[in-house]
Structure formats: structure tokens, C-alpha cells
Structure 1
């Protein structure tokens, strides 16, 4: 029996092509070519990052200088050794662990309570569709835009009358209301676009309002709630005016108030001040690093359409 000759040449097909295997591209074809605009945006981002990081760099290098070395070399000179007397002096003068605990307790309670209240309010406004929803949201937004200086005297008078002045719970209540106003405004906009099919399906299955909130709405909106929790914690940690007004005793002060109060006594030099700023920054930095992945997932949730 005669066999058919194998045809070779430009017109012949290989077995891989007959089976539909795509031809391999050269390695250079898979490389991403950056345009001039991309490089310009990258350069601007790097410059902004350096500009933001420069104050932190100054804090770190000046925290480990002696006062004599600072006066001789200035703020930009690198330390020749590790001078830790300023850090130790601030730690002992303000009882730093106590101040950190006060800040952590206040910020943590505010973050949790504000997220819960924001979720309840937004569920009623965004999904419950109460009457006058738009005006309520606008009123909450306007109240959130009031400067804190306007609120000081009414809040001082009110908490003094109820016996909560110079009490950490006064600050917790104030910031819970302030932060939940922003959280309600944000979540109400998110919940207003919530898929109605899921809510109707849950209602058909016999789920009530409470069960719909915790079994349907909460799991889907958990990334957004996590972002709010992190932001509320950091914002409350950095607050200064209201804690300074309502926490007058040394045992109730937060970290920012303790740093400023000690500076007002004029018993700290520049290097000790830098050390106090570094110690006050470390807890928030640790908190951010721990929840960095949660923050990234929460921000990008819903950004890519599946």
C-alpha cells in the first residue's frame, strides 16, 4: 500500500495548528510599554511620597540625638549615636503606657460604636426608605460639617450637668455621634443601591428586618464597614481639642494631649519632643500595618466588576 507523502512548506499545517494551539508570542510582545504620561504620573507620585515622608524622617533622626548634638549639627544632620534619654524621659514623665491605653480604649470604643450606629441608621434610611430620607441625610451631613469649636460650650455644660465631665465616656459619646454622622451619610448612599432582588428573596424566605440586616446586608457590606472602622479609630486617635477640653486630669489624658501638655510646661527640649512624637506615632503605625490588607480589600471591594 502506498503512503501519502508529507507535504512541507509555507502552506502546510503542523499538528499543533490543526489542534487549535495558539502560536507562541515572542517575549518582547508580552512586555508592557510605559508611555511618557505614565512615567510623569509615577514621578509625581514618588515626589509626593517623599514630601509626605520627610517630616517622619526628621522625627526619627532627631529622636535619637542629644540636645548638644542637635544644636551643633541642626535638624538635618544624622545622629552619630543612639541617644535614648529623650525617649526614656518622656516615657516616665507622662506615664506613657497609661496614655496609650486611654487612647486605645477611647478610639476602639468610638470605632465599634460608630460603625454599629452608622449601619443601623443607614439600614433604616437606605433600605427601609423612611419618610423624609433625603432631608434627614442632608441634616446629618450639615451637622457633621459644624466645627468642633461651636460644640465645646454646649457639650461642656451638658456633660458637667450629668456628671461626666473629666470622664473618658464623655469623649467616647461625643466622637461616636460625630463619626457616626459621617458613617450614616456614607452607608446610606451605599445601601440605597443595594440589590432589591436579594432583599425580596430573603423576605420571601420569611426573614425579618433584623435577620435581613445580619444575614444579607452585613456580610456584603463588611469590607466597607471595615474601612470605616479603621478610619474612625485613626481619626479619633489624632483628635486633640475635645479631649483637651473634657479630659483635664492627668490619668484620663490621651497621647496627643499628654504630648502637648508636657510641651506647655516647657520641660522638654527639641529631641525629647521628637521622641514623644515618635512614641505617639508608633501605635497608629502598628495598627495600620496590622489592618493594611483589610483596608486595601475594603477600598478595592466593588471597584472591579466581576
Structure 2
């Protein structure tokens, strides 16, 4: 005898249970990400608050108290003390020149290693990888004496040449891995059309690899902008200092108060943040193209 189950089944409730669990997990993930965002933005918010305080308000209310008025004396005093406009121009010129030079060197090296397939390619790429692990403390002595011998000490060119080579070591390693999987059919088609190696590089390889090159340019610019150790050793005069060096020198003075310290940190941070926001779409597009490849 067959028993038929006549009890109605709540299929809607059964189907909605996994959906509720997914929604709950998404809300939990969103809450965790929001908490992390607040934790990361909190120091920046404290810097902004203290940058617009008077020294008296900082002494009375502490670092977490809100300013009673918009005080810009700390910003203007720091700007005038270090001639921040000139220092900012130095950082922009040095970072942009290093980024362009490092990208060009990375293109030339990676083209020979990734597409040219030179002999000992694996060892050369390994050497570039090892070069990225050498700390700057181990490079400063040869760089210092080389700059002295070439009369480049206390010149922006000492920093540009040093970081152009240092950044291109990473760019060569990364871009070589990209070009190693470059479609050989495009290169062969360009050779059949009569294009030489130089024309193939600039008319075929570079246009297709432009998203990756733009990502490298952004990284090289930001990395060079934030560098402190080598520029502090190489650029001793105030006329050639970069933003991080000027911040470090001024913040070491005993006459500097907490509000001016926050003002200097805010002025030093805003250009890098603005540059990152401007090229944010470039970064996301370059990473997406790399993932699709």
C-alpha cells in the first residue's frame, strides 16, 4: 500500500532561506568593510581637524576636539617657512621625470626579454627580481660617491637617475611577464608588413600594452613622491628639497607646534591623494585588462 504525503510544503520559505543567508552575509561583509574604511580614514580625519585648530584650542581640547573656527594660520606659516610652492614643484618634476624614464626603460628592457627572447633571459629576469629586494640603505653609499664623482650631488638629477633605474628594475620584471604572453601573430604580421623591431615596438606592442604602462606610470609616480631616505641624503639644500624631505626637516624643529605639524602633513598628503583620485580609473582599467588577459 502506497502512502501519499498530502501535507502542503512551504516551498517559498524553503527557497527564501538561502536568500536570507546570502543577504545576511552581504550585510556583514559590508559592515566589516565600512568599519575598516572608518579605521583607515580616522587618522586622516584627525589630521584635517588639527590642521585648522589654533595652538590654544589644541592645548585646551586635545587632538580629538573640533575647532571652534576655521584657522589657517598653521597652513600659511608652514607654506611660507618651507616655500612649499617651490618644494611642491620639485616633487612634481622629479616624480614625473622618474615615472616617464622608468616606464621607457621598462619598455625597452622588457621588449628585449619578453619578445626578443635574448639568451639567458631567465637569469636576467631573476637579477632584476633580486635588485628589487636590495634595501636603499645598501645602495646609498655607492649612490652618494657616484653622485659626488659626477658632480650631481645636491642636484635633482641624482635622485632622478637613481630612482629611474631602481623603479625600472621592478617595471622590467613585471612588464617582461606581460610581454612573454604577447601574441606572436601580431609581431609576425608587423614583420611581414615590413616593420622593423623599433616600429613593431612603438606601433604594435606599446599601443596594446598601454593600460599596463599607465598603471606602472602611476605606481612609479606615487612611489617616487613618497620617497624620503635617498632624497634626504642627496638633496641637502632647501632649494632642491622634495615634499617628504621638507616635512621631515621642518617637523624635526623644536619650534614647531602640533597644529602646524598637522597642517604640514595635510599639505604633503593632498597632492598624492589628488593624483591617485585623478588616475583611479586608469588603475582600475589597467588591472581589469590585465585580469582579462
TM over 0.5: yes
Q: Identify the residue that residue 9 of structure 2 maps to in structure 1.
A: none
Alignment equivalent of 1:260, drawn from 248, 254, 278: 248
**TM-score under structure 1 length normalisation:** 0.87
Q: Distance in 2 between matches of 1:255 and 1:55?
A: 20
Q: Identify the residue that residue 189 of structure 1 maps to in structure 2.
A: 177
Alignment equivalent of 2:194, drawn from 206, 210, 215: 206
Q: Distance in 2 between matches of 1:283 and 1:138?
A: 35
Secondary structure of the corresponding residue to residue 183 of structure 1? helix
Alignment of 1:160-239 (within 5 A): 160-239=148-227
Unaligned ranges ≥5, structure 2: 1-18
Alignment of 1:103 with 2:91, yes or no, is yes
Contact 2:48 2:262 (8 Å CA) reproduced:
yes
1:142-167 Cα shifts (integer Å, max 9, x gaps): 11110000111111111101100000
Contact 2:51 2:75 (8 Å CA) reproduced:
yes
1:62-106 Cα shifts (integer Å, max 9, x gaps): 000111111111111111111111111100000000000000010
Q: Which has the larger radius of gyration?
A: 1
Q: Distance in 1 between matches of 2:113 and 2:253?
A: 49
Unaligned ranges ≥5, structure 1: 1-30
Alignment of 1:11-160 (within 5 A): 34-160=22-148
What CA RMSD, in Å, does the superposition of the two structures yield over aligned residues? 1.7
Secondary structure of the corresponding residue to residue 164 of structure 1? coil
**Count of aligned residue pairs for this structure pair:** 276
Q: Distance in 1 between matches of 2:206 and 2:22?
A: 41
1:14-49 Cα shifts (integer Å, max 9, x gaps): xxxxxxxxxxxxxxxxx9994433333322222222
Aligned pair in 2 of structure 1 residues 106, 56: CA closer, same or farther (>3 Å)?
same
**TM-score under structure 2 length normalisation:** 0.90
